[in-house]
A and B are shown apart, each in its own frame.
Chain A
Amino acid sequence: MNAPIRRLAAVVLVLFGTLLLSSTYIQFVQASSLRDKPGNRRTLLENYARERGPILVDGKAIAQSVPTDDELRYRRRYSTAELYAHITGYYSFVYGAGSGVERSEDSLLSGSSDQLFYRRMVDLVTGRKAQGASVELTIDPAAQKAAAEGLGNQRGAVVALDPRTGAILALVSSPTYDPNRLTGHDVNKVQDAYKELNADEDDPLVDRAISGDLYPPGSTFKLVTSAAALSSGKYNEHSQVYGGARLDLPQTTSDLPNDTPGPCGPGNRVDLTHALEISCNTAFGSLGLTLGGDALREQAAKFGFGDRLNVPMPVTPSTVPAGMNPPQTAQAAIGQFDVRVTPLQMAMVSAGIANKGVVMSPYAVKTVRSPDLDVLEQARPQELSEAVSPDVAAQLTRMMQQVVTGGTGTRAQIPGVSVAGKTGTAQQGKGEPPHAWFTAFAPADDPKVAVAVVVEDGGRAGSEAFGGRVAAPIAKSVMEAVLNR
């Protein structure tokens, strides 16, 4: 009977070998993916037990972990919470790292990032309590405040960029919410708050500046159409284009009218600068027809349309639809039809023009420091694309200055500073008031800030200047806040 016993001993070896393999698979191969599973309570508890790094604006913590007496050890606190809610997002025991920088930089803030591996090992050996990295933002608190106060209780969004670097100076979405309501340790209260915020018709949790449902850009898109026209080489800022009272749309029985009754210029002709100044629909509609949908799309793509950006929060790509027929192209050329943008994208259009045609990649995180203040990451400004040539950029700048000095955007004038801008009134549907837009940069000769403002339902149909009256002052105060530093 000894031979089969020996074979049985081999079988036992195989059985245990299987167990060694299967446990290795779980504890070594699969370990990190299991740890990252959303339902893993251990990871959450462990992250909570570690002091999460702060989020800083201008050296001051806008989000930090404060010690508590309960099992979770720390609670996330947001100072001036509502001002920064959409930038910070929230870090909730119930819902995890939700949205904003809290989510995008979670691994660094929580200290679980591989970049902190060495530090963790040292902590393990020395018994020091582990800590997350701190994240310093590019936000300018004055600009952020000006933007939030400008919007007040209107729904909308404001984005301000440094056109030279792409650094995001202000990122405001309204209405906002108090992320502190989601960070409590009373599960029921947090759940109630979350349900309430989600049920709110004004969607306070949505960051309208970079995501959300996207907006039709209205006349601000005429900047892209102008850029396409100037870049084609067939036009310059003084070119005379069609400027009748109505533009006959081919293949349809309907026409494209101007917002204001009557033609844009004598003899149904208007030069390009004046067309932009008064936001002449027929001029840009006919330009769109001449240039074609593909040219508009390509020009838009050069400004960043269609790019999946992470700032580090993921940005919803803005779109110009492909395969438009002529009437749709004419509509798209004035920012209607299915053209959809984020306020960030429109700020990038202005910033690109301001920066001599070069669009910089937008970013919100300036510096990431380990708990010992070693710099782990330092933002380096990067070119996203060259949208237009420096010459075209200069022409566009002059045209945009004209909008502010004598056109629809006079409300954005800053004494002693030349401002370049463009208004917009984006129709959203019959019977609903249009959105008011304004995008601008300043100073025109040495740009330091580019901004885009959208105020939902803030326009009045038939009055481009009305939109300018609502949105332009907000842009103005944000730019002033940056320039006065």
Chain B
Amino acid sequence: MSGSNRIFLFLAPALLVIGAFFVYPILLSVQMSFTDFTGVGTADYVGFANYDRFLTRSKYLDSVGVTVRFTLMVVVLQTLAGLFFAAMLHRMPAIRNFCRAVLFTPAMMSFVIVGYVWQFIYAPYTGGLNALLSAIGLEGLARGWLGDPSTALVAIAVTHVWMFVGYTTAIFLVGFANIPTEIEEAGRLDGAKSWQRFRYLELPLLAPSFTVNIILSTVGTLKTFELPFIMTRGGPDRATNTLSLEIVNNLFGSYKFGFASALSIVMLLLVVTVAIVQNLYLKRREDNQ
């Protein structure tokens, strides 16, 4: 058997699985996006009507905007928080493992539990956050965190970051571990302070960790559904209505499978575009370090 045939033979099972469980469903979704399918019965072809509705009704474009804003907030906050914790723990080996486990614990909890717990923390009348603010003399800052469109998305983003900062920290800690100790020692011998070692030695060498963290958190957050669904159902007044929520509402609330498929294709294009652009930029940055 020739070399190329052998390669194809070994690749075939994986290609089959990818084709059956990834490519085929996408092609089906594309096909369904041109119909008025309600989930049962027959699907009638409606041309580009679903895409036309997406482009001409501002509420759907607003959902894309909400999704992008939410993703930006989560990625920036989570990356910075993860980097901060990893930098601290890198310098505190005695408590590193314990703290890493503590930081990782929220990620092991169910979205439903996290959503409901934080919903009560943010509750305006009986919530823990407002009670804490009142206790420390900051009752002026107390508000309906999830009921105010200007704070609802940020509140959910904070919950999301709280849940997944452990992942980001763990990836950065691996990055720190991969930095040769000789470089750290050379920096110390040259009289560099802790901040200087971090800024000029460690940060550039953490480029691969940045790439992994940013791409993973971006792709994951663009598709986010659970926390907005549980905490606000997309409210108040669509302030937290992400594209995923819009898809689910059209699928199971309005039985508009055809239109929901069109929204899914839009989301797929968004995620793929962002992932490609990010990957190109971050890889180039890595190579330049």
Q: Do A and B bind each other?
A: no
